[in-house]
Every structure is written in structure tokens, then in C-alpha cells.
Copies of this chain bind each other. A is one copy, B any other.
Amino acid sequence: MRRIKDIGELGLIKRLSKNIKVDKSVICGIGDDAAVIELIKDKYLVVTSDMLIEGRHFLKTDKPNNIGHKALAASLSDIAAMGAVAKYAFISLGLPKNTTLSYIDKIYKGIIKLAGKFNVSICGGDTNASDKLTIDMTIIGVIDKKRLVLRSGAKEGDFILITGRLGGSLKSGHHLRFVPRLAESRYLVNNFKLNSMIDISDGLVADLGHIITRSNVGAVIYEELIPRNKDAKSLNDVLYSGEDFELLFTMPQKQAKKFIKASHPKGMNFFIMGQIIKKPKEILFVDKKHKVKSLKIKGFRHF
């Protein structure tokens, strides 16, 4: 009998998607950071759902306001990865029966504070009794049609950039407190032409892997150029551990030249780390000694 762990999360998603038929208003269904729906004349709806479960995405010992913050922030990061503006949140909570009201208040405090920062309206959801604390967060965003950025648009020659440093997120607690890169996303799509974008949740190599797989291209990245957090304990941590929630994006060389010359808003940092190459599904890694090796696309495994 075959089980989930035999095919992994990506295999599972592929398997589940194969019999699904969607309406022509669904521009992009399963397979990007968020679904893209055409309902309005000039804008798309962008919708994402993320389920966080105690013991997997956070621990019982984590602060409840951080848990709430993370639940919203992780979904907002998906909306940012499309270039969209987050608008509405729907929260389904599974709560152990003996949960104290003050604990739930704190979860909500974390959610409401972050929602306020980005003008996200909490519109609904569901509450249920469950064994372990479970939070499923659905966000609806909107985006001008011409500004939409998918995973699938990367082109040979594109520069590969990232909004921040990688590694050590779990150890440092960054994964519980990060500010989703909505402002950076806004700035980028309003001022530059991006060919592709994704947020780093599964790890740099895995998420770069998503971009090149869906774009049918390859990539070369340089160890010296990959911005590293001081909490990162190893190169492997930087490449594979994930939950950094930075935006990884690619832009054509001409745009990149304009981008490098631009003075970016205060507090925003962007790092070039490599380029898109023609050879499909190949990630080449150039180490500090200028040795080149091919990386296997892998990252955090949910199953």
C-alpha cells in the first residue's frame, strides 16, 4: 500500500490536481504561491490558504501572539510573492478544549496587530475543538492584471535576487516574528518588471527549484553572493532549511541594470545571487573556490 511519504508533498499535490477541472476564470490554480482568479475587469483576485499545526509549524511553548503572527504572516508572504495587495483574511481555528481564553486572546492579538499594519480585514472563519492547536488562514488579495508575477515566468539571462538574508530562521525565532515582504513586493511590482517570484518557505534550493521547474529553465547561484544571516549555522542551513520568508525573484538584465542604479526605499535590501540559465531543471552552485556543482532540488519535507 503506497503512502504519502512515498511520493512526498509535491507528488501528492500533483496526484490530487490531476483530476481537477477549473473554470476559465481561474488563471492559475494549484501550483503557485496563490491561486489567480479573473472576476473584475482590470484586477485579479489572488487567494492562498495555509494550515499551521502545533508541533509542526510552531511549538506549544512558543508565545501565543507569535503563533498568531506567524499564521497570518506566512499567508501574507504568499500574497506578496504574487505581487498582490492583501485585503481579507479568514481564520479557521482548531482549539484544544481546555485552552484558556487569555491564550486565545493572545493568538488573536498577534493576528490583529499584523493585520492592522497591512490593512488586512479579518472577515470570518470557523472555530472548532481539536486535539492540537490548528490554524488555517485564507487570504484574498487583489492585483492590477499587468503587475501579476508568477513562478513560471523566469527567462534565460534573468538575474536572480532576494529581499533578505537566509538561514537560521528556526533557531533565531525569525519564523515566528518575520514581517512579510508586502512593502518590498509593492515597491518591486510598481516600479520594475519582474519575470518570476516566490517566497522562501521550503528553502532556497527548493523554492528556486519551483521557479525553474515551472519556467522550464535552470539557474546558477554563487555562494559568495548568497546573503547569509548571522544565525545561519552552515551552508546547508542557508540553502535548505527554509521558513526565511524572503522573496526570491528574477528580472531581465535590462531591468536589473535600472534596478541596481535605483535608490530603494529606506529599510529595503536586495541582493543579486545569480542568473537564470537555459538548461532546464539544473541548479548550478558556484562555491567560494569557484568550483561548480549541480544541486539536487530538495527542501523541507512535510511528510
| A125 contacts the other chain (CB 8 A) | yes
Chain A interfacial residues counted at CB < 8 A: 76
Number of chain copies forming the complex = 2
| A13 nearest CB neighbor, chain B only | B127
**Beyond A3-B98, A112-B20, is A51–B136 a contact (Cβ under 8 Å)?**
yes
Residue from B15, B22, B104, B123 in contact with A121 in the complex, judged by beta carbons closer than 8 Å:
B22
Docked complex: A1-60 residues within 8 A CB-CB of B? 1-7, 9, 12-13, 15-16, 19-23, 25-26, 29-30, 34-35, 37, 39-40, 45, 47-53, 56-57
Contact of A37 among B9, B88, B97, B125 (CB under 8 A): B88
Q: Which chain B residues lie closer than 8 Å to A136 at the CB level?
A: 49, 51, 92, 126, 136
Q: How far is the CA of A94 from the CA of B53 in the complex (A)?
A: 8
Chain B neighbourhood of A105, CB < 8 A: 15
CB-based nearest B residue for A31: B124
B4 touches A124 (CB 8 A): no
Say whether A178 faces chain B, with CB atoms less than 8 Å apart.
no
Neighbouring B residues of A9 by C-beta, 8 Å? 127
**Cα of A239 to Cα of B1 in the assembled complex, Å:** 44
Smallest CB–CB gap between A43 and chain B, Å? 8
Query: Could you say which residues of chain B place their CB within 8 Å of the CB of A39?
Result: 39-40, 45, 142
Measured CB to CB, the nearest residue on chain B to A119 is B23
Q: What are 12 residue pairs bridging A and B, where the CB atoms are less than 8 Å apart in the complex?
A: A5-B98, A16-B127, A30-B124, A35-B88, A37-B88, A37-B123, A39-B45, A49-B92, A49-B136, A53-B130, A97-B303, A136-B136
